[in-house]
Structure formats: structure tokens, C-alpha cells
A and B are shown apart, each in its own frame.
Chain A
Amino acid sequence: MTDTVDIGLHVVDHQLLDSEGRRCGNVDDLALEGNPGESLEVVALLSGPGVWGQRAGLLGRIVGWLGGGGTVRVPWQEVEQIAAHVKLRKRAEELGLGRGDDRLRPLIDRIPGADR
């Protein structure tokens, strides 16, 4: 990696990995702060179906609604590394990410052989 990061190209739409390497969503949008005339600062990553409407209009809203809405805000301080993926400092559960998988897991566990 170079010292500067192109956040449009190398952060937005990238895979989020938690501290244990679990895939836990994509960076769907960024939250920026800063008044006009001041420098802008990335304060958080946004992930989840609630953001899709802003990304893709009507189609995005429909898909976001199908996905159940909801947005997770990951403070920028929780980002450990930006390489091919965006690596986070904490586990997905602590950040509220990957809940869709966690909710379905008990269902999958009922089928024999789910851990093989």
C-alpha cells in the first residue's frame, strides 16, 4: 500500500473482515464530517441494506427493503488495515455486523452435518 488511500477506489464497496477474518458485510457508504471550508473527515463506515437506496435509487430501495433495512455504523477508529479488504479491530458481533448469518445459524445447525 502507498501512504495515501483512495477511499473511493479502495474502501467503498470493499469487503469487511472482522478481527478473526470473518466476512461481515461490505462498505456500502461512508459518513463524512466537516463544515464548509473545513477539511472533511471520514468518521464511520456504513454497512447494510438501509444504505442501498441512496446508492441505487428505486432499485436499491427495493433491494434494501427485501434485505430488511437497517444500517450498521462502524467508527473509523475500528478500522485496523486497508488492503485488498477492510480489516477491523473487533469481532463482528461486537460491532453489530454479520447478524444475518448469526440469526440463520441455529436453523442450519438443525440439519445434520452442518459443521462438516
Chain B
Amino acid sequence: MKIFQIALGILAAIGGFVDIGDLVFNVSAGATFGYQLLWVVVIGVIGIITYSEMCGRVAAISGKAVFDAVRERLGFKTGLMALIAAQVVNLMTLTAEIGGVAICLQLLSGLPYRWLILIAGAALAVVVWVTSFDWIERVFGYGGLCLLVFAVAAVKLHPVWGAVGHGFVPHVDTKSPLLYAYFAIGLLGAAMTPYEVYFYSSGGIEERWGPKDLGLNKANAMIGYGLGGFLSFALMIVGGSLFLDKGIEPEFLGSITIGAEVPLGQIGLLLALVGILFAVGGAAIDTLFSGAYALAQFLGWEWGRYRHPRGAPRFTVTWLVLLVIALGLVMTGVDPVQLTEYAVIFSAVALPLTYIPILLVANDRSYMREYTNGTLANVLGLIYLVVILVISLTAIPLMILTNVGQN
């Protein structure tokens, strides 16, 4: 049944919702504001579904991925700036994810962190080199679903369901509105982080989607990102139930796993660690490929895992080089969690440069033919364009005003 081939959507969503930074950010949103920010995740989920469906459809009908659209609609100059911004943010995120994989391996094995960084980097290179795109998707997408253990943990922690329900209703009720806004912007920025759509649209082409796969595209976007959002809810509820009003600020990956260990014991801890390992490893592959996709598409090079390394040499060398640079950066001892927080905020600034071209191309009748945006996609697309503009204008001021969410 082709309708169950939703690994691409899940893997793309994992990179946005439960990568190394988001795991901590979600739990820490719960620890700080309880269940009050759940509604923000809903808004983010609908936005990313809208735009992923759009760029998946563009990929299926025209064979264009997101950076093809960026280049053709923004032109060389503005497109080049979008490319540079995308590469910087991507590299920051990739660095953080490799660090995350190493932390995870350290929690599992107890070996020294720096050795595990090298092992993580080598393992990623080998996995990407020998594994087909389909299997990368399946292993990391479905493996990351071990994180559903946090949904069980959320239930077992017996939250006050009335309060959880209230969290889904948009409201602001806090003594620190700036910090609240910072968390809201961070959650929205993470939900709509651009590399999700770079990866998703290019993945559609890797899978050779055509007009017959538009249903598959919808299913991938809705179920994949829906699951990502669901995991985000679960983490926030765990954070709210376990840490709120206890003065505990979860800043480390280790403190997240406590969320599964307290209600579920050793098995919960193990599932959480395995889930995090696959999710963060998957996010590393998301960003590794996204960087190479973006560069190759912008310059018109041959690209894609489906072309095999010898069929796309410059693409292959690009991801190898990105991996080596990221390994070098993570060896400096930079804190992965902090790094992704900065990456989300910086990427928020460049959001319009990614999403405006998608909206324009999805409305181009000359090659989208009868598959251009319908009314719903355009109305939602325009509404979210406003949301994106607000995010991009407020992200950095809020980061400065709240001292990166510290007060």
C-alpha cells in the first residue's frame, strides 16, 4: 500500500519538531509555561503542512525543488543571499545534530564525548554512502518514532487534562510576556524551519514523484508533520507535568530522558534514548542533504542520492565537505542545544526568502497546469506569509530582549 509510504514526511518533520534543540526547547517550554504554549505548536503544524504540501506538489508536477524555485523567482543576487543564509544556518544545525548524536551515544555507552563525535561522523558518512534514500528515510523516520514513548509518559504522568485542553486555546496569561513571546516565536520558527522543505521537496524528487503521487504527498505532509506536532505536544506536556514550578530548568539532553524514565522506568529510558538517537541522526541527515541540495539546485548541478555518487559528483563532494566542516566545529566543544536555538532564530529571519518563492511557483499555471494552488492553499499560504513576516521581524529583537530565553 503506497499510502503508508510516509517515511519522507516523518523524517522531514522530525528535523523540525524533535531535533536536538527542539527536544530541549519543547520540554523547557513546558517547564516554564506549563501547557500554555500548546496552541502555538498547532499553528506551526498547520503552516508547515500547507507549505510542504505545496512544495511537494511543485516537485511532483514540475520536477523543481525549493532552491530551484528560489533561484528562478528571486534571481541570482537575492537568491545567492538566501543560499548563503541557508548554508550558514544549515551548517550550525548539522553541527548541533552531530553533537547530539554523540551525546546520545555517550549516555548509552559512557565512552568519551570527543571519540564519540568521530564515531558519529564516520557512521553518518558510511550510512549515507551505502544506504539508498528509501532506506535512509525508513530507518531514521520510523526509528525516530520510538519517541512516542514520551506520549505514553505524558499520559502516565497524569497531567490535569483540563489544563492541557486549555493550552490548545490561544491565550496569553503570564507575568513575563516577552519570554512567552520568545518561546512562541521559537516554536513557530522550529515548526517551519526551512530545511524541512528543502529536504521534503528534494525527497519527493528522490522518490521520483509524479502527478499520480499527489495523494501520497498530501498523506506525507499531513501524517508526517502531524506526528511531529504530536511528539512536540507530548514533550511539552511531560515538561509541564514534571518540571513546572519545581524550579528545574531542563537544559541537557539527559534531563529530557528523565521525562520518560520517571513514569516508565528503565524501558522508558532506553526507548527515549534510542528514539532520540534516530531522531537526531535523522535530523543530521536532513541538514546534511539539505545543504547539498540547496547548493546544487542553485547552481544547476546534478544532484540526489538516487543518481548515486558517481552520477552527481559535485553534490556528493558537497555533503562530504559539509560533514567534515561540521565535525571540525563540533570538536571545538560548542554546546549543541544552544547552537540550534541560535540556528532557529537566525533561520526565522530568512523564512520569507524560502516561502515566498514556493507560493509563487505553486501558482504558475505554465508548468503547474491544472495542479496550481486551490483556494484553500492560497488563503492559508497568504495567512502564513503574514505569520512568517512577523516571525522574521521579531525573532532577533526577542532573542536580545530575553537574553536568549534566559530571563
Contacts and interface: CB of A to CB of B under 8 A. Distances in A.
Contact of A23 (B303, B308, B366): B303
Interface string A89-100: 000000000101
Contacts of B63: 84-85
Chain B interface size, under 10 / 10 to 19 / 20 to 34 / 35 or more: 20 to 34
B300 A47 contact: yes
B314 interface: yes
A105 B150 CA distance: 46
Query: Which label, helix, strand, loop or mixed, suits the secondary structure of the B interface?
Result: helix
A25 B300 contact: yes
A76 B367 CA distance: 21
Given A2-B366, A114-B310, A15 B300 contact: yes
B76 A56 contact: yes
A32 interface: no
Interface in A69-111: 83-85, 98, 100-102, 104-105, 107-109, 111
A36 interface: no
B314 A60 contact: no
B309 interface: yes
A101 B76 contact: no
Interface residues of A, number: 41
Nearest to A5: B366
A108 B316 contact: yes
Interface string A17-41: 0000011111010000000000000
B81 to A, nearest CB: 8
A16 interface: yes
Interface in B285-299: 296-299
Interface stretch (B67-75, B136-144, B273-281, B334-342): B67-75
B71 A26 contact: yes
Contacts of B313: 100-102, 104-105, 107-108
B130 interface: yes
B64 interface: yes
A28 B366 CA distance: 21
Interface string B54-67: 00000000111000
B206 to A, nearest CB: 14
A116 B305 CA distance: 9
Nearest to B298: A26
A13 B130 contact: no
Closest A-B pairs by Cβ, 9 of them: A26-B300, A104-B313, A55-B76, A84-B62, A56-B77, A84-B367, A25-B300, A114-B309, A23-B302
Given A1-B366, A22-B302, A101-B301, 8 more contacts: A13-B75, A24-B300, A26-B298, A56-B76, A59-B77, A60-B80, A67-B299, A108-B316
Interface of A: 1-2, 9-10, 12-16, 22-26, 28, 47, 52, 55-57, 59-60, 63, 67, 83-85, 98, 100-102, 104-105, 107-109, 111, 113-116
12 contacts: A2-B366, A13-B71, A14-B72, A55-B77, A56-B76, A101-B301, A101-B302, A104-B317, A105-B310, A108-B313, A114-B309, A116-B130
Interface of B: 62-64, 68, 71-72, 75-77, 79-81, 129-130, 296-303, 308-310, 312-314, 316-317, 366-367
